[in-house]
Amino acid sequence: MTNKVVVLGSLNVDTTLHIAQMPKPGETINAQSKTNSAGGKGANQAVAAARSHAQTSFIGQVGRDSAGDFMMKALKQDHINTDHVKVTTEQGTGSAVILLDEAGQNSIMVYGGANQAMTTAVAVDSEPLIGSADVLISEFETPQAVTLAAFKIAKQHGAMTILNPAPAAKLIDGLAEVTDLIVPNETESATLTGIPVTDTASMDQNASQFASMGIQNVIITVGDRGAYYHTATASGFVPAFKVKAKDTTAAGDTFIGAFSSKINPDLANVAAALVYAQQASSITVQRMGALPSIPTTEEIEKVYG
């Protein structure tokens, strides 16, 4: 059985500048090369879910421009349902500039554009789609008000809601109460809870703080170390697979999308789903680009059996 996954999120055309090392303030450096690819946290997560055989649909917005056409084509290539991707003439399609150094680390600057111009009407118009989903994922590259409206609809229909609070921002009122699972990295988690993530004890404290906010289930990703999880029935840590990273862009998104394809609604298989998600993201970081780097189930099985 494969999950029906709906992603409410961002669609960005990524421009990656390949550099030797990050520039210092005020410094001008030469880029070694430049590449363009489809991206955005929402698109990355949807493609990761689709390549892991989830029946995937997208809720989002692009501009009426060539970049928007490019993003729609990219989603359709992975057989993602785009019936609920709106086209606006008010804003251009979202974009991102990524600085990628030789160590594989990146800095990202995002222009929201059509993503940030989304309104709650997008969620309301998508109620039939959301109602048919097993899992609804959203991030913070689109307005939180739209996510809140969509999550409320999801809860009315019994769909599981997964929130990726990235880029980190304070949750608006009501959003925690309709979030089944929150998946921040250690920096985002600390921003939301005020508790630095340094060890297992501090992760437990973060989970307790999220519970007090109304979110009972937490996964905290800690880069190449792995992922911590805490649910109503279990907690633990799943280590990452050791690989040499070329490009960490989309690693976290691959993790969430792959995870969403495998997770049971009751979270009973959370540890196994996390292992699979770690396998997927370990392959992503060994490749260049966002969407092009995301592996299929077949590629994951070929590497990890």
Q: Which residues are catalytic?
A: 253
Distance CA 85, CA 81 (A): 9
Whether 142 has a binding-site annotation, put simply, is no
Alpha-carbon radius of gyration of the chain: 18
Whether 252 has a binding-site annotation, put simply, is yes
Whether 289 has a binding-site annotation, put simply, is yes
Query: Is residue 181 within 8 Å of residue 147, measured between CB atoms?
Result: no
Whether 117 has a binding-site annotation, put simply, is no
Whether 12 has a binding-site annotation, put simply, is yes
Whether 44 has a binding-site annotation, put simply, is yes
Burial group, residue 119, by CB count within 10 angstroms (0-12, 13-18, 19+): middle
Whether 287 has a binding-site annotation, put simply, is yes
Count of H-run helices and E-run strands, the chain: 10, 13
Whether 104 has a binding-site annotation, put simply, is no
Whether 224 has a binding-site annotation, put simply, is yes
Token pair 């630095």 is found at: 196
- Buried-state track 120-159, b at ≥16 Cβ within 10 A, e below 16: eebbeebeebbeebbbbbbbbbbbbebbbbbbbbbbeeeb
Report the binding-site residues: 12-14, 40-44, 141, 185, 221-226, 247, 249, 252-253, 284, 287, 289, 293
Q: Which residues are annotated as a binding site for substrate?
A: 12-14, 40-44, 141, 253
**Residues annotated in the binding site for K(+), as ranges?**
247, 249, 284, 287, 289, 293
Q: Residues at the annotated binding site for ATP?
A: 185, 221-226, 252-253
